């Protein structure tokens, strides 16, 4: 309820209040549009898989070794084996280094 009598209530909102109402409405619209844009960009980006680098065909692992992880760098490929070794290959597939990292059981 208002302290003003019924006959003294303004018929329309004051100009400052109308402007504030317009600003709040525009802000709500911009926030909704921004949220829709973010969701659309996430859907577009997550829908298309990123291409994986090509693994050189010449890479051969030692007998009995299986690759647990492969890392691609600009000029070399690093393969971590289940036997506890890090193998470094160049882009042509030639082995550059064999670095033991410990036992295969993770110790």
Q: Give the chain's end-to-end CA distance (angstroms, integer).
A: 76
70-101: string of b/e by CB count within 10 Å (b at 16+)?
eeeeeeebbbbbebbbebbbeeeeeeeeeeee
Query: CB 56: neighbour CB atoms within 10 A?
Result: 13
Confidence label for 6 from pLDDT (cuts 50, 70 and 90): low
How much is the pTM? Answer: 0.48
Q: Who has greater pLDDT, 102 or 58? A: 58
Q: What residue ranges do the domains of the chain occupy?
A: 6-47, 54-107
Question: What mean pLDDT do residues 6-13 have?
Answer: 69
For 24-83, what is each residue's pLDDT tens digit?
999 999 999 999 999 999 999 888 777 766 677 788 888 888 888 888 888 889 999 888
Q: CA angle, 45 as apex, 40 and 49 as ends, to 5°?
A: 145
């Amino acid at each position: 309820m208002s302290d003003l009598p019924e006959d003294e209530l303004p018929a329309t909102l004051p100009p400052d209040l109308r402007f504030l109402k317009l600003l709040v409405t525009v802000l709500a619209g911009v926030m909704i549009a921004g949220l829709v844009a973010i969701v659309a960009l996430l859907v577009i980006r997550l829908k298309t898989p990123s291409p994986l680098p090509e693994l050189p065909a010449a890479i051969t692992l030692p007998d009995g070794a299986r690759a647990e992880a492969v890392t691609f760098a600009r000029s070399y490929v690093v393969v971590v084996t289940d036997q506890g070794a890090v193998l470094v290959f160049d882009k042509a597939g030639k082995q550059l280094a064999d670095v033991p990292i410990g036992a295969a059981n993770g110790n």
